[in-house]
Amino acid sequence: MQIIHRRIPRFSGFTARLALSTSLLALSAHSALGQQSATPLETITVQGETNSGPGGNAGASASAGTIQTEPVLAAETAWGPVDGYVATISGSATKTGTPLIETPQSISVVTADQIEAQQATSFTEALRYVPGVTPEAFGFEPRFAWIKIRGIDVTTDGLYKDGLQLRNPGFITSYSPEPYGAERIEIPRGPSSVLYGAGTVGGLVNYISKRPVYERFREIEVEGGSHDFYQGKFDFGGHVDEAGTFLYRMTGVVRDADTQIDFIQNDRIFLAPAITWRPSDRTQLTVLAHYQDDDTKVSGAVPAEGLLTPNPNGKISPSLFTGEPTDVYERDEHSVTTLFEHHLTPDWTFRQNARYLNSKLVVDAVYSIGLQADLRTLDRAYYARDNKLKTFNIDNQLIGDFNTGSIQHTLLLGFDYQYLDGTDIGRFGGAAPLDIFAPVYGNQITVSGFYSNQDIEQSQTGLYVQDQIKFTPKWILTLGGRNDWAETTTDNFLSRAKTKIDDREFSGRAGLVFKSNSGIAPYVSYSESFLPVGGTDINGDTFDPETGHQYEAGIKYQPPGSRILLTAAVFDLTRENYTTTNPATFFPEQTGEVNSRGIELSATASLSSGLDLIASFTDFDLEITKSANPLEVGKKLLQTPETTASIWADYTFQYGSLEGFGFGGGVRYIGDSFADTANAIKIPDVTLADAAVHYERGNMRLALNVQNVFDKEYASGCFVRATTLCPFGATRNVTASLKLRW
């Protein structure tokens, strides 16, 4: 069993004698699959003296006769906690718990420690330092996670939770996962349809929930900050019985907060109970539940005149609310997930993951249309939605580890099924204009009628196989194939039309890694994606699935025995058969094609000296190569910066009079992008800074975090309606927190 000593000062009050009678865990034979088995070990007592100075155990108390040390962690698992910032194993890219250095694909892991250090209070904030990802594509957005990967929007088809997709056709609902409930967030980039079925060519974001653990702990945290932000968090867990047959965990968040925009609140209630049952060392069942209630408003957009360009009436305030105070955006969401694992033999394991999710979304909102000639009167309109979504996912996996002669195999056989039923009811209307420099609210709203009233049913059945083949310890070949049967039925109650689309698609993947003894691992890979497309063309014919493919080559470097991971990748991906609108007929045509090619660099380190580091650089060329609109061909996709870079460093003193004190900071560069089809309206680039200072002593942690330190006002995700409109980016935000853990 591998033992990893946690560095000071992550709750140094947890120091414990090296008497490990019941608190150490042994991993099961297949713990790399992401599940731990709780096996109490015999008591180990170490006698002698120790030195807590340099080179000794960081933070240990020297006392004659006993050694005191930090709590120890079992070997990292694919869905378990990570000590520091550097994950070494992941389950999202292969579903088998594969070391990152042996995975022929770019993948980043945002750990709970990183989320805590940066004090991310939203899902997208947690992704700000990930290469290739545009996490706030629509600027400041409290409603949901709007994310692009390698220039491709993954908002509706690229979000996953515990390996199961969070589908959202046509924005029937929205998702904003709570970062405090995550053990880690994994971002494999590039197509993943070979394992998951319908999805985008850009990649996916997989939120891994916190799960029950053996060691008992209690954690509470209170936070306060800018814009009347108040939040309480708690996380309790441990074993029910000493044998570890039953484990539990309860995680929760309660937030009462305003935001940088007047009248927009950002309130949340999040509860996530979990329990694990281990009737034997071969069988385990974990049940994860969650309830989330969000109450906010549509953030809206302001005219470019006064933000991007001068306005003779003055500069638009970033606190300007363009809706009405009576606006509503409420989401009620709950789910139950089961994670089952049974070791059939020492070499074969069966796993089944399943989830039922129910989400309700209610919206009443006034939104911006365009600026009048006086450059101060904003035309507005009204829309409302009353939507419901129910989904069921189940993924069955049979995993075998065996040899054929001298060749090692990790074989994955899978069968999965997804079903969703969504109701989309939308109304539209008019709203009085607003003077953006002297706003007066309380204007009457006129409801005109329905723009949507439909029921959508989707199902997907997939069979897949993957073989990870080690010809030698150095050469690793990954081959995968999958066939999907997808069906989409839409009942349009406005037109009284019913459409049914049946799709069948094959997806494949191949990748080769050479893993040297020095820790250098070059790789090449090819992968494919598919995505069902709803709607009909001008002739009433349904569309074929959207497809995509990617070529990628890269190199990863992880010095043996270190907690450092360096990666570099070049990629060339193509999104094909997506629908674009013909400007002559105003009907969609399935002729769209986009190419994205570029480079990504990343570095992650967690050093014993107390330094944590993240750095990334992304640069790609994103071009529309085919479209029903000739004006788009050769142009860039909208609202997509092609160059981004970031670096974050955090240092904590490990000993001496400053032991437990730490500070950190980061810089984020977001390149320019375009707001219009002709690429004539440019959204300027921006460089933002973040900072943190923290102190840990015993079981207490105090922290102060500042996002956008210099309070830069910038536009993000601009678009064109009657005139150009822009959401503000997030302004300066200061958060203080106090955490106790025992």
Q: d(Cα 90, Cα 520) in Å, to the nearest integer?
A: 18
Query: Please, what's the b/e burial string for 555-582 (b: 16 or more CB within 10 A of its CB; e: otherwise)?
Result: ebbbeeeebbbbbbbebebbbbbbbbeb
Q: Name 74's Cβ contacts closer than 8 Å, sequence gap at least 6.
A: 1, 2, 3, 4, 24, 25, 26, 27, 31, 36
Q: Please state the rounded mean pLDDT for residues 371-397.
A: 97
Instruction: Tell me what pLDDT residue 22 has.
Output: 31
Which residues, in sequence order, are bridge partners of residue 334? Answer: 291, 358
pLDDT tens digits, residue range 620-667? 999 999 999 898 999 999 999 999 999 999 999 999 999 999 999 999
24-42 residues labelled b (16+ CB within 10 A) or e (exposed): bbebbebbbbbbbbbbbee
Q: How confident is the model at residue 590 (pLDDT cuts 50, 70, 90)?
A: confident
Residue 519: left (phi > 0), alpha (psi -120 to 50), or beta? left
* Sign of the CA dihedral running 300, 305, 308, 312: negative
- Give 7's pLDDT tier (boundaries 50, 70, 90): very low
pLDDT at 139: 86
Q: What is the pLDDT of residue 440?
A: 96
Which tokens go with 722? 């009657």
Given this model, what pLDDT does residue 137 score?
Answer: 86
Q: Looking at residue 74, what is its pLDDT?
A: 55
Q: Which residues of 184-193 are buried (b: 16+ CB within 10 A; e: fewer)?
A: bbbbbbbbbb
- Largest pairwise CA distance in the chain: 86
Please say whether the beta carbons of 735 and 229 come within 8 A.
yes
pLDDT band per the 50, 70, 90 thresholds, residue 444: confident
The pTM score is 0.90
In this structure, which amino acid lies at residue 314? Answer: G
What confidence score (pLDDT) does residue 63 get?
A: 33
Residue 595 Cα to chain centre, angstroms: 24
| Beta-strand pair 205-209/159-161 | parallel
Evaluate if residue 9 carries a pLDDT over 80.
Answer: no
Q: Quick one: pLDDT at residue 52?
A: 35
Strand residue runs (E) in 257-317 = 267-280, 283-296, 302-303
DSSP 189: B
pLDDT over 90 (residue 12): no
Task: Tell me which H or E stretch contains 735.
Answer: strand 733-741
Which pLDDT tens digit goes with each residue over 57-111?
333 333 333 333 333 445 789 999 999 999 999 999 999 999 999 999 999 999 9
CA 370 – CA 305 distance, rounded (Å): 11
Per-residue pLDDT band for 535 (boundaries 50, 70, 90) equals: confident
- Rounded Cα distance between 244 and 568, Å, is 42
Alpha-carbon span 30 to 410, nearest angstrom: 12
Per DSSP, the three-state class of 410 is: strand
d(Cα 1, Cα 65) in Å, to the nearest integer?
26
Q: Which of 41, 36, 48, 46 is nearest to 20 (CA)?
A: 41
Q: Let me know: does 610 contact 639? Beta carbons within 8 Å.
A: no
Give me the pLDDT at residue 54, please.
Answer: 32
For residue 258, give both structure tokens.
């305003």
Given a cut of 50, is residue 4 above it in pLDDT? no
pLDDT of amino acid 580: 84
Q: Are strands 445-470 and 475-492 parallel, antiparallel or unpaired?
A: antiparallel
**Domains of the chain by residue range:** 209-741
Facing residues of 248 across strands? 238, 275
Residues 583 and 719: their CA atoms lie apart, in Å, by 18
pLDDT digits (tens, 9 = 90+) for 249-305: 999 999 999 999 999 999 999 999 999 999 999 999 999 999 999 999 999 899 999
Architecture of domain 209-741: Beta Barrel (2.40)
Q: What is the pLDDT of residues 386-438, one digit of tens each?
A: 999 999 999 999 999 999 999 999 999 999 999 999 999 999 999 999 999 99
Q: For residue 161, what pLDDT is reported?
A: 98
Window from 135-144, 547-556, 607-616 with minimum mean pLDDT: 135-144
pLDDT at 96: 95
Give the C-alpha distances (Å, rounded to integers) separating 605 from 39, 92, 655: 31, 21, 20
pLDDT of residue 537: 79
Q: Which residues pair with 525 in a beta bridge?
A: 511, 552
Summary mean pLDDT of the chain: 89
Q: What is the mean pLDDT of residues 121-129?
A: 96
